[in-house]
Amino acid sequence: QLKEKELDLIIGGPPCQGFSSHRIKNAGVNDPRNELLIRYYDFVKIFQPKMFLVENVPGLLWEKHKDYLNNFKRLAANSGYNILGPLKLNAKDYGVPQNRNRVFILGLRDDISISEGDWPPSPTHFKDKKPYWVNASEIFEKPTSSIIEKITAVLGQDVAQKLKFRNTLKENKSDPNNIHMNHADYMIERFSLTPINGSREDVDFRLPCHSNGYVGHKDVYGRIRLSLPGPTITTGCFNPSKGRFLHPWDNHGITVRQAARFQTFPDDYIFSGGIISQGKQVGNAVPVNLGKILLKSCVEIIINNFQRDDKNADEIS
C-alpha cells in the first residue's frame, strides 16, 4: 500500500464538459462533473505527492466557474501546496500539429522548491522562426498530382511547395482505427463541392438549426486547413458536424487514426471499441508530445530537489 508522501507526482484531467468553451451564459455552472475537480484534490490530500499536475479546458478560467477553481486552490494550499497557475499552454508551441489551448495547474508540496524558469517548459516550436509549428499536412499521405494541383491553386505555389506530407503510400487497411464516419449520399455530394481549405459557407450549406437566423460555428463541415496546425481534436473528431474535421481533399471526415496523429499518438497505438468510443479516447487525451515535455519538466524539478538535498547533506556532514 502507498504511504503518505511516497508518490512523486499525480497527474489528472478531471472531466471538462462542464467547463467546456462551447457552453454559453450559465450553462454548465451546476454540472455535477465540475465537482470531479474537487474529487481529484481528494487523491492529492490522501497521497500527499511531491507534485500534482491538472489539465483542463480554458473555460475553467471563466468568471462563472471561479468558485470551483478558487475552492480547489484553497484546499490545495491548506494541504501544504504552493500553486503555480492556472496558465494556458497551446500544444502547437510544443511540436503538436494542432491548435489546442489547455489550462494547467501545477502544485508543489511545500518541501519542494523550484527555480525561476523551471515552469512552464519553454516552447519548442514557433510561428515565425525555426523550428516552425507543425502543419496539418504532415498528418496525411502525399496526395495525387491532381489534388496537389488543386492545393496549389488555392494556397499558391510558394505555400504548397513547403507543405510536408507523410511518406507512406497509402493508409493501412488492416489498422482497426483507420475508420471514418459513414455519411449519407447527399452529405457526400455537399462535401464534394467543398474546395480545399473550404467550409460549408463555400457551398451555401445552411444547417436546419440555422433556419431561425442563428449563424453557429463556421468551422463545422469545414475541410482541415493544410498549411496551419490542425483544429482542436475533440471527442467528436471523426464527425464533420462537430468542427473542421472534414478530410482536406477526400469527401468524408478524418479517420480515427488521423485524429490520433493530430494528438501525436504513434500509428501502432490501438484504440478499442467502436468509432464513438475510439473518438472519446483520442479527443480526451493530452497530446503525447506535449505530455512528454510536461512530464520531463516535472521530473527535472523533483530530481533537482533531491540533488539539492544531497548537496546540503554533504555540506552538513
Please tell me the predicted confidence (pLDDT) of residue 3.
Answer: 85
DSSP H or E run through 9: strand 9-12
The pair phi, psi for residue 10, each rounded to 5°, is -115, 125
The DSSP 8-state label assigned to residue 51 in this structure reads: E
100-151: per-residue pLDDT in tens? 999 999 999 999 999 989 999 999 999 999 999 999 999 999 999 999 999 9
pLDDT in the model for residue 64: 81
CATH number of the domain residue 168 falls in: 3.90.120.10
Are 240 and 148 part of one and the same domain? yes
pLDDT confidence band for 271 (50 / 70 / 90):
very high
pLDDT at residue number 216: 56
Would residue 163 count as lying in a domain? yes
Q: Are residues 294 and 159 in the same domain?
A: no
Please indicate, yes or no, whether residues 151 and 176 belong to a single structural domain of this protein. yes
0.75 exceeded by pTM: yes
Angle at 134 between CA 197 and CA 160, to 5 degrees: 45
Tell me, yes or no, whether 176 and 110 share the same domain. no
Q: Is the pLDDT of residue 34 over 90?
A: no
- The contacts of residue 39 (CB under 8 Å, 6+ apart) are 14
Residue 12 identity: G
Within a domain: residue 1? Answer: no
Per-residue confidence band for 214, with pLDDT thresholds at 50, 70 and 90:
very low
Number of helices and strands (H, E) in the chain? 8, 4
Is 131 domain-assigned? no
104 and 206 housed in the same domain:
no
Q: Residue 296 is part of a domain; what is its CATH number?
A: 3.40.50.150
- Domain around 245: 136-283
Q: Are residues 59 and 104 in the same domain?
A: yes
2 lies in a domain?
Answer: no
Same-domain status, 40 and 67: yes
Domains identified in the chain, total number: 2
Q: Which residue has the higher pLDDT, 167 or 131?
A: 131
Q: What was the pLDDT predicted at 17?
A: 56
Per-residue pLDDT tens over the stretch 273-303: 999 999 999 999 999 999 999 999 999 999 9
**12 bridge partner residues:** 54
Starting at the earlier edge strand, list the strands of the sheet with 9-12. Answer: 9-12, 51-56, 101-109, 81-90
Q: Are residues 220 and 108 in the same domain?
A: no
Does 309 map to a domain?
yes
pLDDT in tens, 61-106: 988 888 888 999 999 999 999 999 999 999 999 999 999 999 999 9
Active site residues: 16
Query: Do 153 and 274 belong together in one domain?
Result: yes
More confident residue, 87 or 312: 87
Q: Regarding predicted confidence, which is higher, 311 or 260?
A: 260
Residue 316 has pLDDT above 50, yes or no: no
Instruction: Please tell me whether residues 100 and 145 are part of one structural domain.
Output: no
Residue 166, in any domain of the structure: yes
Tell me, yes or no, whether 243 and 301 share the same domain. no
* CA torsion through residues 158, 163, 169, 173, sign: negative
Task: State the DSSP code for 62.
Answer: S
The letter for the amino acid at 166 is R
Instruction: State whether 149 and 252 are in the same domain.
Output: yes
Q: With respect to residue 83, please indicate whether it lies within any of the assigned structural domains.
A: yes
Q: Which pLDDT score is estimated for 100? A: 98
Instruction: Look at residue 3 and tell me if it is in a domain.
Output: no
